[in-house]
């Protein structure tokens, strides 16, 4: 009998093997932490090993072409204001849909599940914008993409984590000319269940229903926007990342899926046609280039990505950067997130009603200097730092 332990341990929950199993012996089931994992019915399995052969974890799907790395910022103030960093995804998605194509990306549903949808509606781009620090469910979208790829006159853009991109490429067994992929420079993903537990805990604390939630919210006073916003019926509450139990645990890599800590895609060699993420340490990596704005890192990984970028590059302010220099600060371009020892028992009591109360970060009294700095616009602080006005 085949030992499927490695298939389970390395599972990212993409669902490719579920679709392609010839005897339909594989399903995805939640484990005790709320992550989807493969479950194999050994009574119907014929041990053909197809699941092992087509698992993206057992394939080499990274690009080997010479890469081009850029710092980028959308020229549209309105568009980039709603984006986590430089507005690259939204600009590309807008271009694809405006030219009669479709875009697949992550949105919240009504119950705060993060799911991937395929759409040709420009209004859905707003739903897809913004980082969502929870694992998105890609099950179902692969088949919709494969069916639509048959319409050769329609381009499709798929945006997701590198493992989701790799899962799709394995599922369709190739890189069709009308498919463009953008992988996100990913740190790791918490489980959907613990995020839903967090929302329920927060609603209990507030005694009000949360209608929408966003992780990244920039302003004239905060460049990176690591501030969550909870939208109630008549009120919006802002919370600093370091003062929130779920958010701070995410930033400290405490609640990721186990395979994220051995992620083979945390590397400069990427699986998507283009890779995007926050530009870390812009003063060093892209000195003098819009330093008061949240900028995007854009990595063009192959000729197909270059073709797409050439179509939309005029929508951006850009500066070429040294990828090896960016990788020094953006750690997931060189290695996976480090697994902390507390991850061993992190999820054991996640369903306990006081779980998040016990994880609430200690709130230190902010100094007067800290409060004053928060009242100074980012651009003013940048100019003071540089010693000149612009």
| pLDDT score, position 284 | 93
pTM of the model: 0.92
CB-count burial class (<10 Å; 0-12, 13-18, 19+) for 240: middle
- Of 330, 309, 335, the closest CA to residue 72 belongs to 309
| pLDDT score, position 176 | 95
Each residue of 71-93: b (16+ CB within 10 Å) or e? bbbbebeebbebbbbbbbbbbbb
- Cα angle 263, 187, 156; round to 5: 85
Two structure tokens written together for 335: 């290695």
Two structure tokens written together for 225: 């926007």
Two structure tokens written together for 383: 């100019």
The answer to whether 389 and 383 have CB atoms below 8 angstroms apart is: yes
| pLDDT score, position 390 | 47
| pLDDT score, position 82 | 85
CATH of domain 5-58: 3.30.70.20
Two structure tokens written together for 273: 């046609």
DSSP string, 78-121: HHHHTSSSS-HHHHHHHHHHHTT-EEEEEEE-TTS-EEEEEE--
CATH 3.30.70.20 placement within the chain? 5-58
- Of 89, 65, 70, 88, the closest CA to residue 269 belongs to 65
The answer to whether 133 and 79 have CB atoms below 8 angstroms apart is: no
| pLDDT score, position 74 | 96
Per-residue pLDDT of the chain (390 residues; tens, 9 = 90+): 677 888 999 999 999 999 999 999 999 999 999 999 999 999 999 999 999 999 999 999 999 999 999 999 999 988 888 898 999 999 999 999 999 999 999 999 999 999 999 999 999 999 999 999 999 999 899 999 999 998 888 999 999 999 999 999 999 999 999 999 999 999 999 999 999 999 999 999 999 999 999 999 877 666 677 899 999 988 999 998 999 999 999 999 999 999 999 999 999 999 999 999 999 889 999 999 988 889 999 999 999 999 999 999 999 999 999 999 999 999 999 999 999 999 999 999 999 989 999 998 865 555 566 666 666 666 666 666 666 544
DSSP string, 198-266: HHHHHHHHHTS---EEES---BTTBSS--EEEEE-SS-EEEEEGGGSHHHHHHHTT-S--GGGGG-TT-
């Amino acid at each position: 009998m085949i030992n499927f332990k490695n298939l389970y341990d390395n599972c990212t929950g993409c669902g490719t093997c579920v679709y392609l199993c010839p005897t339909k012996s594989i399903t995805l089931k939640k484990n005790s932490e709320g992550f989807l994992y493969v479950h194999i019915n050994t009574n119907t399995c014929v041990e053909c090993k197809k699941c092992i052969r087509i698992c993206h974890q057992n394939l080499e799907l990274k690009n080997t072409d010479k890469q081009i790395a850029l710092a980028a910022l959308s020229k549209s103030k309105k568009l980039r204001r709603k984006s986590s960093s430089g507005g690259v995804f939204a600009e590309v998605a807008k271009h694809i849909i405006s030219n009669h194509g479709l875009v697949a990306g992550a949105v919240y549903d009504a119950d705060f599940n993060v799911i991937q949808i395929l759409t040709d509606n420009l209004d859905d781009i707003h739903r897809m914008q913004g980082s969502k620090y929870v694992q998105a469910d890609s099950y179902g979208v692969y088949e919709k993409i494969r069916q639509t790829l048959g319409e050769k006159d329609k381009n499709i853009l798929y945006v997701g984590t590198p493992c989701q991109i790799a899962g799709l490429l394995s599922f369709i067994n190739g890189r069709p000319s009308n498919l463009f992929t953008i992988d996100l420079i990913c740190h790791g993903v918490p489980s959907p269940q613990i995020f839903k537990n967090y929302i329920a805990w927060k609603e209990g604390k507030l005694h009000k229903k949360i209608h929408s939630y966003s992780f990244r919210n920039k302003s004239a006073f905060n460049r990176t926007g690591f501030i969550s916003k909870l939208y109630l019926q008549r009120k919006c509450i802002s919370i600093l990342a370091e003062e929130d139990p779920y958010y701070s645990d995410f930033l400290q890599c405490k609640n990721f899926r186990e395979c994220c800590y051995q992620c083979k895609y945390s590397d400069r060699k990427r699986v998507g046609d283009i890779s995007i993420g926050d530009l870390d340490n812009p003063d060093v990596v892209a000195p003098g280039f819009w330093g008061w704005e949240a900028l995007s890192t854009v990595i063009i990984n192959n000729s197909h990505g270059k073709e797409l970028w050439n179509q939309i590059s005029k929508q951006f302010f850009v500066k070429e950067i040294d990828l090896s220099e960016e990788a020094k600060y953006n750690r997931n371009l060189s290695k996976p997130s480090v697994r902390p020892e507390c991850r061993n028992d992190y999820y054991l009591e996640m369903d306990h009603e006081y779980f998040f109360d016990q994880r609430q970060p200690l709130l230190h009294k902010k100094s007067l200097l800290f409060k004053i700095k928060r009242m100074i616009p980012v651009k003013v602080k940048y100019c003071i730092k540089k010693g000149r006005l612009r």
